[in-house]
Structure formats: structure tokens, C-alpha cells
Amino acid sequence: MIDKALLETLAAKPVAPADHLIDGVARAASDGGRLEVISPLNGQVLTTLARGTTDDATAAVMAARRAFDDGRWSGLAPAARKAVLLKWADLVEAHAAELAVLGVRDNGTEIAMAFKAEPLSAVGTIRYFAEAIDKITGEIAPTAPGTLGLVHKEPVGVVGAIVPWNFPLMIGAWKLAPALAAGCSVVLKPSETASLSLLRMAELAHEAGLPPGVLNVVTGEGATVGAAIAESMDVDVLVFTGSGATGRHLLEASARSNFKRVYLELGGKSPNVVFADAPDLDEAAKVSAQGIFRNSGQVCIAGSRLLVQRSIHDAFVEKLKAHAEAMQVGDPLDPETAAGAINSEGQLTRNLAFVDAARAEGRRIVTGGHRILEETGGYYMPPTIVADVAPGDAIARDEVFGPVLAVIPFDTEEEALAIANDTEFGLAAAVWTADLSRAHRMVRRIRAGVVHVNTYGGADVTVPLGGVKQSGNGHDKSLHAFDKFLDLKTAWIKL
């Protein structure tokens, strides 16, 4: 955890206006446009960003293309790339407090989580892929005598990366680290509501020795900057984490341009299934509360649908309520805060609208469901539990992306499975049971990319994260992440 005095110093530090990072230098928007950065802590202007234009995005792509084609990075030996990336990780670690506080002021995540889940998570991810790259080998095919079949693994080229606001450093590192380790050049577009920490982390990459043009950051609105990257004929691969609606636009842009490969992580409505024979119901309630209410529910894998076996339903909801109401909600820069601010006023309004709709349908608001701390000017909402929810309710089907938990009772394993799979999403899930056979059955039959058993969250960089159904395609984390950024090239040689 950050020293309290250092925390106060960093929290009081003015934040300078931020520009793009293109070809290794800071660059203002081509038309001089600026975007205000509103801090969710108090609703006040924190600083401004360059409001990127299509020309800015194009300049960044061209810088990345030149950097890739001339081999200043892609042509280096893997061990040389590893050395730079490891130095970058060291610098990020050294500046972790600065990065964490900057990110909290920008997007509202509570500092206790932000410190670990943002810069320190990014450090671990960068080191993991840096250490892996000189161990990725080609193949020799089992050919007939007189021929030699070689399979080379080569960097794909220029990667466009569009990342969300909830965990910009963690998710950004999931994209950047394997792409850069593989030898690609990157154009990164952060969310306009969470750009500051990513820009600073990119500056540290250049301090570590990353050549100019290899990592470029263009800030601004998705409809302009994101669209320009997606439609560019010089972007070879596009990686994105965000909404399904935006994912569809990116796929359409690929079809309109050069059929670039598009890898999407589109969120979820993750079922968290608690059976009566869970090994520790108190622990299940505590971890389930953390699984939905950490970062104010603004987590892709948040267990936002809680399925509870009817025989323990009422008692379990009371346990959950106790944990929810014990969580301190407030200033994210206070180390005692368990849940910080909602990212924006628009997101807060959306969260409350889901609760109002559930209330109008006669659902029971167990706790929360309203705006709090309005006098601060910030965007705060307490952990909210909605019970007596039907599987077809909007609050049980749509991704709220806030601290809102929908509780659904069930009787049998088959009913639980049917409800769990009755969603267009398939990113994550959890099962709580002491029955080993049931656990394996549920893992096999729940349609999700990650299924937790007797826990929720915490899977590290060694295992893949990816969705099925409308939660997307491709995988972040683990060695499988390299699949997005390496092309296979066959050499067929007559001897």
C-alpha cells in the first residue's frame, strides 16, 4: 500500500494537460482541440486531453508502420526486446504510486484495489511476456524424405488497441505486453475518461528504450479516433475490450477496410451459482460481495447474477447484505474506502435506471439503489442488492456495469444450469459446492470462458481470459495471447 504522506502529496499534485504520444514525442491535436477530464471524485475538471482527429490517428498509424517496416523493433532479437520490456516493467514498478493515484483521480477506482490491480498488475504482465518471448519457437513439420517443412512465427505488423476505462493499465498491459514482446508496433487508443495513467506508462516505455514509433497513444473520442484506427488499411490486427455495440462497429470497419483480424472482449453477465452444500457459506457471501462490488461493479467478469439454491436463499441474502452494508463507499483516495466512485455521471445515471426499472417491476431492493455523497459533486452509489429477480428481467440479462447485484433463486442443478446459460454473454461464472462431481459437471456445462469453483476472481496472467457467445473472441493473458500477434509462415524446402 502507498505511504499515506506520499498519497496525500500525489493527490494534491496538479495534473498537466496531456497530449498524444506519436513517434516518440508529445503532439497536440492537429486542430488544437481539447477534451476536459472530469474527475469522478468531485465532478470537477482535473485537466484536459488532446481531442484526437482522424489525421492524428493516421499519423500514429503511419509512425507505427514505419517503425515496424524498418525493423527498429521487429528486427531485434527477442532477447533484446526482452531487455527493454523488463526495464519498462522496472520503471512502472518504481512509479507505481504515481500511476495508481493518477488513475484513481481519473477513473475513481478505490486506491487499495487500484495500486494492486493497475500498475502492479501491469508490471507482472509485462515481465511475464518479456520473459516468454525468447522461448517461443518455430516448428519443423514431419515431412517426407527429400523435403523440409519449417513453420516460422513472425510479428503480425501494426496493432490497433482500444482499451476501456475501468482498469486501463491492467487491460492495457494485457494488449501491449504480448504485442510488443512479439515485435509488433502499436497504436493505442485509451478511453477518453481514463487516459492519463496509460499515457504516463507509455512515456515510461520510451524512457526504458522503446524506439520511437513502436508505441503510439492517441487520445480522444471513439467515434473519431477509434473509428480511424479500425478503418485504417495499415492496421493489421485490432484488439478491443468494451461494449458489444462498439465491437460490432469494429467488425464492420474491418470489412470496409482490409479485413484486419479483430479480437474482442465484450463483457458479460456472469452467473455466480451458490449451492446449499457450499463448503463455507460465510466465505461464499464475502467473496461474492467482493466479486460484484469491488471497483463499484465496474469489472468485466463481475458476478452480477447471483443464483442461490432456494433452501438457503433468504439466509444467504442476509449474509450478503451484511457484507455489502459494511463496505465503506466514498473517496477513492482514502485507503479505508472499499468501493470508490462511479466512472462518470452518465454511468451513474444508467446504474440507477436499472434499479428504478427493477423497483417498478416489483423486485425487492434489499439494500442500496440510490445516489449518495451528492454533496461532494462526485458520482457515488452504494452496493445494491436486488432480490426476487426473474431470469428474464433486464437487470438479470443486461450488463449494468455498476454495483448492482441481481439475486435469482433456484431449486435443482439442472435449473441452475439453465438459468446460468440463459444469457447472450459467456465471459465468466462461478460455482460454490462441496460436491466434486457437481463442480466438474458445472464447469463442463456452463458456457463461459472462465469458471471459478469456490472462489471468484483472482485468476492471474498464467491462464487465458476470453469469452464465448457475445462476450467476444480471442484471449488475453497466458501464452495464448501471443496467438493474436504472431503469424505462421510456412517454408517448404526441397532438399
Confidence band of 12 (pLDDT split at 50, 70, 90)? very high
User: Taking 80 as the threshold, does the pLDDT of residue 1 lie above it?
Assistant: no
Q: Identify whether residues 337 and 245 lie together within a single domain.
A: no
Helix (H/G/I), strand (E/B), else coil: 310: helix
- Picking from 441, 406, 440, the residue whose alpha carbon sits closest to that of residue 423 is 406
Coil/strand/helix, residue 410 = strand
**466, part of any domain:** no
Cell numbers linked to 495: 532438399
Helix (H) or strand (E) holding 22: strand 20-22
Catalytic annotation, pick one of 118, 300, 399, 413: 300
Does residue 233 sit in the same domain as residue 305?
no
Asked if pLDDT for residue 409 goes beyond 90, the answer is yes
Question: Domain holding 60: CATH number?
Answer: 3.40.605.10
Q: Report whether pLDDT(2) > 90.
A: no
Asked whether residue 239 falls in the same domain as residue 307, the answer is no
Q: Please check whether residues 250 and 291 belong to one and the same domain.
A: no
Q: Tell me: do 118 and 46 sit in the same domain.
A: yes
| Residue 450 neighbours by CB distance under 10 Å | 20
> To the nearest whole percent, how much of the chain has pLDDT over 90?
99
pTM of the predicted protein model: 0.97
Catalytic residue, chosen from 98, 265, 399, 413, is: 265
Q: State the CATH number of the domain containing residue 450.
A: 3.40.309.10
231 labelled catalytic: no
Is 184 part of the annotated catalytic residue set? no
Half-sphere exposure (Cβ direction) of 460: Cα atoms closer than 13 Å = 9
Q: What digits encode the pLDDT tens for the residues 424-445?
A: 999 999 999 999 999 999 999 9
Residues 351 and 217 in one domain: no
Structural domains in the chain (count): 2
- Indicate whether 119 and 228 sit together in one domain: yes
Q: Is residue 114 part of a domain?
A: yes
Confidence of residue 168 (pLDDT cuts 50, 70, 90): very high
In a domain? residue 195 = yes
What are the pLDDT digits (tens) for 336-378? 999 999 999 999 999 999 999 999 999 999 999 999 999 999 9
Strands across the sheet with 404-410, in order?
364-367, 384-387, 404-410, 305-309, 271-274, 428-432, 450-453
Report the alpha-carbon distance of residue 426 to residue 270 in Å, rounded.
7
Sequence-distant (≥ 6) Cβ neighbours of residue 409 within 8 angstroms: 307, 308, 309, 310, 313
- Sheet of strand 237-241, all strands in order from the earlier edge strand to the far edge: 25-27, 20-22, 215-217, 185-189, 158-162, 237-241, 261-265
Residues of the domain holding 72: 4-266+472-492
Do both 282 and 227 map to the same domain? no
Q: What CA–CA distance (Å, rounded) separates 451 from 474?
A: 17
